[in-house]
Structure 1
């Protein structure tokens, strides 16, 4: 009976470990992040990369992005300080966007890979305001 309980406990621990670690997978992942840029290339990405942008109401930002998806799915979404979708960037594309910031706070960029192979790069800069 004692061995049965030990076996059951071991099984529960192993299953719990897989549940906790099974969500994020990275293989041959090389990435870097600076205050105004995040980029990575990978053989496999199943998980989320996050980057915070501290912005002020009235700011204008210029976003440059490129993503290459050889297989799987990749999404790149920017959320406002209230966690509402502010902008979704198209995957497997290269582009530039100019955005007007309506609310001061921390915006969150979430890059989510689902069994994807490829790369991405996201950078932004604040546009200078004209002084009159």
Structure 2
């Protein structure tokens, strides 16, 4: 039974890693309100959050990360609507 479960697991991982442009292995995340939270073993791709602000609003960003392999890039893009 353990061998069967391992085969199913490996097939699922293979399907996940080859079926799209991003890869998420052991990924758990949430994107509610004004927050993005995620934990993962392996991740390639992009997580994105659009936040609407009015003039005078303050944007506060907090992050915590541990990168054991590869790189992590955090970007803040500001688009003004006129």
TM-score, scaled to structure 1: 0.44
Structure 2: any 5+ residue segments left out of the alignment?
A: 1-17
Aligned to 1:42: 40
Shift of 1:104: 5.5
Structure 1: any 5+ residue segments left out of the alignment?
A: 1-17, 82-102, 106-132
Higher CA-based Rg: 1
CA–CA separation in structure 1 for the residues paired with 2:64 and 2:81: 26
RMSD over equivalenced CA pairs, Å: 2.0
Structure with more of its chain in helix, by fraction: 2
Counting matched residue pairs gives 65
- Which has the bigger relative contact order, CA under 8 A and spacing at least 6? 1
TM-score, scaled to structure 2: 0.68
Structure with more of its chain in strand, by fraction: 1
